[in-house]
Structure 1
Amino acid sequence: MASSALTPYLTFALGNDSYATALLRIKEIAAHTPISRVPETPAWLLGVTNLRGTVVPVISLARRLGLPSAPVTKKTCILVLDIERHGEPSPVALEVDSVSELLELGPDSLEPCPAFGTPIESQYILGIAHTGERLVYLLDLDRVLNVSSMASAAQGEPRAT
């Protein structure tokens, strides 16, 4: 019997739902820091922040996924990761309501995403894991943070002033 390799995932909350991404994607988990708003940007682009001398854009992951955003609390944090922009890695910060736990999941512990009935568009979900009585949606961050799809999504959205 072949054992399936386990992959570590970081789980986090957006509203009342649990989401996860591969731990290897995350460069850093940071406390919520002051964000400087940038005028004329989509509502999901909260602005920029200074992380150890580097200016990094901060995206509300909830808003990017079409979910309502929660007020900032002591548990609110940002996940720092790189996205590919013009063929180069570029840091971006994702605001999440809270970080929950580390899960190790194998391919056999994931279920495919149903065509409907999920809190976000199914194209952004790689699979669903059951952890006890709760469901965890595994995000496809490459799709969620695809630069061209974010630019398309920004068309016609309300702008910050």
Structure 2
Amino acid sequence: MAENRDKYLVFNLGDEFYGLPISKVREIIQYVHITPLHQADPSFKGVINLRGKIIPIIDMRRKFNMDEAAYGDRTVFIIVDYLGKKGVTQMGIVVDSVQEVIDIPEGSLEKSPEIGIKLKSHYLYGIARQDDKMIVIINIDRILDSEEMLTIDKEVGSGVEIESYEGTVGA
């Protein structure tokens, strides 16, 4: 009998590896200009116009209290579906680079340790071990709290003019 496996998109921030359930990933696009907005949360970089849809952009380094890094050739936005106040919507997350899609056997995610992980535990599904890597699997639906979602909804609905981007790197 075949073992059930879940697929995850692995990306990195610095030397650390993170994963997202592939079912949450809409597409991956190259870095494009972000229109900054007047926001309180430093991880909220602003918005992009992706084929006529306004997409809020969250910098994962800032969200995870990591040192900032200049955006480079490998910097990408992962456009994800997340469960917001208004139902399922989309946002982009800025990551240093995308690595691969991996299969993780169902039930093999380990609980995140109480120490050694810098992230709030509600951000996490668990830890996966693949070869010699430890991959932190994040719960994208919990990356934003209620207050952050309200701020982003307000900012995105402010009617700012945003340059459109039509291209895509992958899906």
Q: Quickly name the TM-score band, shorter chain normalised.
A: 0.7 to 0.9
Which residue identity is paired with 1:54? K
- CA 28–151 in structure 1, closer or farther in 2 if over 3 Å, else same: closer
Q: Which residue in the other structure is 1:98 paired with?
A: 97
| Whole-angstrom distance in 1 between the partners of 2:86 and 2:71 | 33
Give 3-state SS (helix, strand or coil) of 2:99's partner: strand
- CA 43–56 in structure 1, closer or farther in 2 if over 3 Å, else same: same
1:137 aligns with 2:136: yes
Alignment of 1:109-148 (within 5 A): 109-146=108-145, 148=146
| Whole-angstrom distance in 1 between the partners of 2:120 and 2:134 | 16
Which residue identity is paired with 2:90? P
Give 3-state SS (helix, strand or coil) of 1:62's partner: helix
Q: Which residue in the other structure is 1:150 paired with?
A: 148
Higher mean C-alpha displacement, 17-26 vs 83-92 = 83-92
Q: Which residue in the other structure is 2:68 paired with?
A: 69
Which residue identity is paired with 2:105? G
Give 3-state SS (helix, strand or coil) of 1:109's partner: coil
Over aligned residue pairs, what C-alpha RMSD do you find? 2.2
Give 3-state SS (helix, strand or coil) of 1:100's partner: strand
Unaligned runs of 5+ in 2: 153-171
Following superposition, which runs of at least 4 residues in structure 1 exceed 4 angstroms of deviation?
151-154
Answer yes or no: is the 8 Å Cα contact 1:11–1:20 preserved in 2.
yes
Q: Which residue in the other structure is 2:32 paired with?
A: 33
Unaligned runs of 5+ in 1: 155-161
Give 3-state SS (helix, strand or coil) of 2:56's partner: strand
| Whole-angstrom distance in 2 between the partners of 1:62 and 1:54 | 24
Tell me how far 1:66 sits from its aligned partner.
2.0
Higher mean C-alpha displacement, 4-13 vs 100-109 = 100-109
Answer yes or no: is the 8 Å Cα contact 1:124–1:141 preserved in 2.
yes
Tell me how far 1:124 sits from its aligned partner.
1.6
Deviations 1:101-148 (A, max 9, x none): 1100013432111111113223322111111111000001111134x0
Which residue identity is paired with 1:143? R
Higher mean C-alpha displacement, 117-126 vs 70-79 = 117-126
Q: Which residue in the other structure is 1:82 paired with?
A: 81
Query: Percentage identity across aligned positions?
Result: 26
| Whole-angstrom distance in 2 between the partners of 1:7 and 1:41 | 36
TM-score, with normalisation over the residues of structure 1? 0.84
- CA 107–44 in structure 1, closer or farther in 2 if over 3 Å, else same: same
